[in-house]
Amino acid sequence: MFELLKTDPHSKARLGRLTTSRGVIDTPVFMPVGTQGSVKALDPRELLEMGTQIILGNTYHLSLRPGRDVIRAAGGLHAFINWPHPILTDSGGFQVFSLARIRKIQAHGVEFRSHLDGSLLFLGPKEAMAIQRELRSDIAMVFDDCPPHTSTSRELRAAVERTKRWASECRDQPRATGQLVFGIVQGGPDTALREECAKALKSMGFDGYAIGGVSVGEPEPEIFKAVELTEPFLPAHLPRYAMGLGTPAQLVELVARGLDMFDCVLPTRVARNGTAFTRKGAISIKAGAFKADFRPIEEECACYACRPFSRAYLRHLLNVNEILGLRMVSVHNSQMYLKLMADIRTRIGAGTFGEFRREFIANYLPTRRVLSARANAER
């Protein structure tokens, strides 16, 4: 199911191949996020053209709207959204703990109120796996307890206990044909809890392992710490997935730390306020400096936004709220992430990932610095 093709001699970076029932995925891989059954502003043809191998769907959101009955009647999520390629579904654990108003955490799941209409709902390991079975995703995630980064050690301990128990319940549920199931390691920044959770899940024998409880609002050093604490306890012969991460520079660093799979809403989310990712950092297309700048967003980029359109035209579209503007920045940003991963795979294969990593990090201006510099310039 997962073939480890090569490991970088100077870091933990891995080149691999994950076989799912709907296709083979080359890793390291970036997975565009289609929470509501659509990667925001992009259609399936564009996703394929830019080299997308697998997208994400979300159990919590899709079960609220349009509802599992509609998707089941459509013949599953692939048929419903016209994406016949691999899909990974998140279990809904993260959304229940971050979006919904929780009424009660029970032994076998969570009673909560929908963030849409306040209706009382229940989601636990059994329900999350049943929905993912009906969605017929190629990779299903276990239902976990994802606590905020401000949790006390007592709360972290309780979350790990539940995550272990729920993972075991998820493993015993029936699956869709060919569906892989990944475990999720929690434990926050606690070394002992991360180790304990990883070892317990490893003994349950999942098809892959995710590092959860990262990207929950903590500063970057804590993200890397949680990944570094967890990675040594994950089986080397199975895929490892860093959930909800990150910026382009973070992805390069996470690959170097032995992670294979990534998903992040950033490329499409920041596109909506006119921010474009480049190999040198993020830029604001709306900035006055681009008013008559007829270069593309990025000279070397082969995406559909960069071939025919200039920064000046895209800036104009964004300023007058034309949908094409945010669509084109979404196309560029998503392709930038996918091409970055393709380059990483090539460089691991060629044995030159270390050089690539050094150059990339040296050239990439961290996003926050770019954004604050821009805010100051415009004040």
Asked if 306 interacts with Zn ion (CB under 5 A), we say yes
Asked if 303 interacts with Zn ion (CB under 5 A), we say yes
Of the pair 261, 301, the CB lying nearest Zn ion is at 301
Query: What values do phi and psi take at 226, rounded to 5?
Result: -60, -40
Closest CA to 261 of 5, 93, 14, 83: 14
Site mask, Zn ion, residues 136-155, x = CB under 5 A?
--------------------
In angstroms, what is the minimal distance from the CB of 51 to Zn ion? Answer: 13
- Residue 90 a catalytic site member: yes
- State the Cα–Cα distance between residues 315 and 318, nearest whole angstrom: 5
Asked if 311 interacts with Zn ion (CB under 5 A), we say no
Of the pair 87, 344, the CB lying nearest Zn ion is at 344
Of the pair 201, 305, the CB lying nearest Zn ion is at 305
In angstroms, what is the minimal distance from the CB of 298 to Zn ion? Answer: 5
In angstroms, what is the minimal distance from the CB of 268 to Zn ion? Answer: 14
Asked if 88 interacts with Zn ion (CB under 5 A), we say no
- Residue 8 a catalytic site member: no
Of the pair 117, 300, the CB lying nearest Zn ion is at 300
- State the Cα–Cα distance between residues 316 and 296, nearest whole angstrom: 13
The stretch near Zn ion (CB under 5 A) out of 60-68, 183-191, 280-288, 295-303 is: 295-303
| Angle, alpha carbons 348-349-353 (nearest 5°) | 25
CB 363 within 8 A of CB 255: no
Cα 36 from chain centroid? Answer: 14
Of the pair 218, 343, the CB lying nearest Zn ion is at 343
Of the pair 101, 295, the CB lying nearest Zn ion is at 295
Site mask, Zn ion, residues 319-358, x = CB under 5 A?
-------------x--------------------------
Residues 6 or more apart whose CB falls under 8 angstroms from that of 203 comprise none
In angstroms, what is the minimal distance from the CB of 272 to Zn ion? Answer: 17
Residues 6 or more apart whose CB falls under 8 angstroms from that of 288 comprise 378
CB 267 within 8 A of CB 30: no
| Number of residues in contact with Zn ion under rule CB under 5 A | 5
- State the Cα–Cα distance between residues 291 and 209, nearest whole angstrom: 46
- State the Cα–Cα distance between residues 139 and 141, nearest whole angstrom: 7
Per DSSP, the residues of 298-342 read STT--STTTTT--HHHHHHHHHTT-HHHHHHHHHHHHHHHHHHHH
In angstroms, what is the minimal distance from the CB of 306 to Zn ion? Answer: 3
Task: Pick the catalytic residue from 8, 90, 144, 145.
Answer: 90
The stretch near Zn ion (CB under 5 A) out of 100-108, 111-119, 303-311, 350-358 is: 303-311
Asked if 314 interacts with Zn ion (CB under 5 A), we say no
Q: What is the 3-class SS of 228-284, one letter each residue? A: HHHHHHCCCCCCEEECCCCCHHHHHHHHHCCCCEEECCHHHHHHCCCEEEECCEEEE
- State the Cα–Cα distance between residues 15 and 259, nearest whole angstrom: 10
Task: Pick the catalytic residue from 144, 145, 207, 263.
Answer: 263
The stretch near Zn ion (CB under 5 A) out of 35-43, 65-73, 98-106, 306-314 is: 306-314
Asked if 301 interacts with Zn ion (CB under 5 A), we say yes
In angstroms, what is the minimal distance from the CB of 62 to Zn ion? Answer: 30
In angstroms, what is the minimal distance from the CB of 283 to Zn ion? Answer: 12
Of the pair 81, 305, the CB lying nearest Zn ion is at 305
Q: Which residues bind to Zn ion, rule: CB under 5 A?
A: 301, 303, 305-306, 332
Catalytic residues: 90, 263
